[in-house]
Amino acid sequence: MVGFHVLTAGSERLDIPRVRSLRLSDLGFALVEGWRDFWRRPSHLAFLGLLYPLVGAALAVWSSGNNSWPLIFPLVSGFALVGPFLALPIYEMSRRQERGLETSWLAAFGVFRSPAFASVAAVGVMMLVFFTLWLMTAQYLYESLFGPGSPPSLAAFFNEVFGTPEGFSLMLWGNLIGLGFAVVVLSTSVVAIPLLLDRDVGAAIAVATSVRLVLRNPLVVAAWGLIVSAVLLLGALPMLIGLSVVVPMLGHATWHLYRRAVVPHAGIQA
């Protein structure tokens, strides 16, 4: 039976991961290696990546059906807040490629049977909480500026946003608040889930390791966040379809960034 150790470590209870100093060249290395990993199994990874545009399309349909136009952008942008957890099978594929193991998507989904999955799920719940808080904040911000309710159509919503002073305030404060949420999530999860896949150290230690990495490399991690945001935006522009390539590539790149950022444990392949 899999042990349930969310906040404490499993077999590596005394292992406190050490983090390295990073350079911008490490980000380039991670992106190149992520692209290489993607092309080794593009069909399987495209299958995984299609989950993102499908979910994004479902969110858009839900919003339009309930006249919730103001929540479309927070839903799509906030989806990135839970992306590190949803990319879990992609991290696993990189880990398996690294160790010369089978890398089919069926093997990748075996990650859900990992001894550390409870800890991974705890980090995922944390991300889901941030996602929910972001949606609640976005809804409150809209209603504080425009009042309760929702515009009757997407065109009316665009007219509110781009044609009124309140719309300018909505864009300004919405982006600033969203940035704050993104910084918190990035700081607590940049290497947390890859670390848990590699070493069953417990959710608390994994999150603390991410925070220590950010404190040691604030500018480099900030650059990584900007790169991820820009690449996701480019992937989302063609009706979200580009995310089927962008998301798997970034997932692989995150695994390789973790390898550059965290000193390997004795006996674990670097």
Cα–Cα distance, 97 to 91 (Å, whole number): 10
The pLDDT, as a whole number, for residue 267 is: 46
Domain boundaries, the chain: 25-261
Phi, psi of 19 (to 5 degrees): -105, 155
pLDDT for 208-262, tens place per residue? 999 999 999 999 999 999 998 888 888 777 666 777 788 888 989 999 999 999 9
Q: Is 191 helix (H, G, I), strand (E, B) or coil?
A: coil
DSSP 265: P
pLDDT for 139-170, tens place per residue? 899 999 988 877 877 788 888 889 899 999 99
**Has this prediction a pTM greater than 0.75?**
yes
DSSP 10: S
The pLDDT, as a whole number, for residue 55 is: 65
Helices (H) and strands (E) counted in the chain, each on its own, are 14, 0
Amino acid at 84: P
Bridge partners (DSSP) of residue 262 are 19
